[in-house]
Structure 1
Amino acid sequence: MYRSLIKPLLFRLDAEDAHHLTLGGLEAASRVPLWPRAVRTLTVPGGQALGQTLWGQTFASPVGLAAGLDKNGVAVPAFSALGFGFLEVGTVTPQPQPGNDRPRLFRLPPDEALINRMGFNNGGAAALHARLAALRQRPAPVWVNIGKNKATPNEAAAQDYRRCVAALQDVADAFVVNVSSPNTPGLRALQAAGELAALVRAVLDEVEAGRVRALRRPPVLVKLAPDLHPADFEASVAAVVGAGAAGLIISNTTLARGGLTHSAQHEAGGLSGRPLTARSTALVREAYRLTGGRVPIVGVGGIFTAQDAYDKIRAGASLVEVYSALIYKGPGLVRELNAGLAALLRRDGLRGVDEAVGVDVTG
């Protein structure tokens, strides 16, 4: 029904208006008690084969929701019901901010892609904390993607990330350090190895400082861009792991525009969707090779089919995330991915996702 009826109607609207309309519906659905956990028995049909335990947390499926779709955590129960194994909300900043001027979100249908220059529009850390703390249903881990406010200079960026951690540690199942969005001026400069290592250590120090107060120590992951020079990518990966981060997310949106056909291709912002499929999988493979599988990797970018997800897992991703494909394929996508992954594991004689991680690298 989504692809034949709802999608054509939504695609007649401005992309951001359609986003808000859809998210509003999911927010309303999230207020209906009990149903998300019950529905998950249908949307996560892979059984134990899809399950993993990472960082002491249980993931019923390796398929997660990427950051950016539910920035303020308004629809966590509804997204859980779709069959996601985990959800990443945000990016959140210490103080609320409106983001960049509209229009700032564009669809490229023939390319199955999106371009966004949202600019970390969000309601701030305090509002997100109140929303997550009020959740009665959390069938899947909820990660919080954190960033700095636009007005904060890079030399003071660490304080913004620490403030997010301090505000949200008792409700976050993990933190994702976002230094790779192209839509906050100067942010990507924080990916340089020296600056990145110092930032990760600052975040980890804040997590450790809040451990007794929050009674939890969420793992810290770092999200990198796909546009780094190979030598810089290697240095950044080494910096993240060396500083003690628990994992990597590969990758964020890209500034590249090769091979696009839609007229919106020249809009400023980060490109996501099908054009990133091969590039992000190659970067997952490289990150897995560089780390030797010592930390879990989350593969993101252009996942539209179970085979796309499986390729990233075999390249070294323990988990994967989707966003753009939801816009083009609808809410049934998550169940399709879960069922398809379970079938691919059976085809290859593998008992679980963990047995497939990195097999194309280790051979």
Structure 2
Amino acid sequence: MTIDDHKSHLITLGKFLKQFQVSNSAQDKDLPGNDKFFAEMDQKIDAAIHYNGWFNRENIIFSLQQWGEALTPRNLKLWLGEYDLSQSGEKTVGIVMAGNIPLVGFHDFLSVLVSGHKVLVKLSGNDKQLLPVIASYLMILDSRYENRIKFTEDKLENFDAVIATGSNNTARYFEYYFKNKPSIIRKNRNSVAVINGNETKEELEKLGEDIFRYYGLGCRNVSKLFVPKDYDFDSFFKAMYKWNPLINQDKYANNYDYNKAVYLMSEFKLLDNGFLMLKEDESFGSPISTLFYEKYKNEEALNNILKENEEKIQCVVKNNAGKEEVGFGQTQKPQLWDYADNIDTIDFLSKL
């Protein structure tokens, strides 16, 4: 299968994914296999919500839409144009997927296929409904995918390389278990936002998307703010207010109540607006419903902190973002060439 074959199929897949809406999804009758797979995907969206209390239709559709927007001819050309994939292929690459947000391992899945390899997927129990439908749809587009895509519920066996994502604890297990195989092992990372105090309400509202999308469960979600020494959080809280319906979601509310009780019993100082707590803390991974913040004296001191902790940070979010940074509201809209942990997955796969 050529790289042009893969591109063509992924473009069609992108159109398939873009059909689904929070309400009033519109089926495209011109897409191949759509009579069957449109209904099946819609059913699996409902099933995913049933099996994972953190998944709701809005967030699942958001994920499908973002992938639909990513899989365009222009984006695929920009993504793959710089690689020589002529010598790669025919290896079996295992992927151990996380399940914190919908389709979190989809980029790895695509990367293995476009690199010409076979993929052996071990899904998380928290996100096992959607990807098999997508894989089956690809097989309808091209039967050669049937020999290139396999799912397993058992431990990975008979593979040549592996990409595994998990917590810092599971990463130690992965590093031991996969020590004799070429691997990418991903650990805990969190994203941070830098506020300078001059942001407009509209800019801060965009930051709310980075904080609250997927309830803050993704590694690209902002879990910590860096703010000027004398920053007034009033404008920040006002901009966040449109997200207050989150407190009506049981799992989110339970986390809010529990964390607030723990903090109050420990006599920590908090800033609280009824659905989000701000706690001054040097750590990076804040609990659900909580956002850590740290004050910085000047830009030089801030850059030193970020440099010292770069292995803990997935994204640095800033207004007027530079090349290595992410703009407000963009963390959950990564491009195909935005690699997790800054590890070039295609380069890794092309050298197997």
Structure 2 length-normalised TM: 0.31
Larger radius of gyration: 2
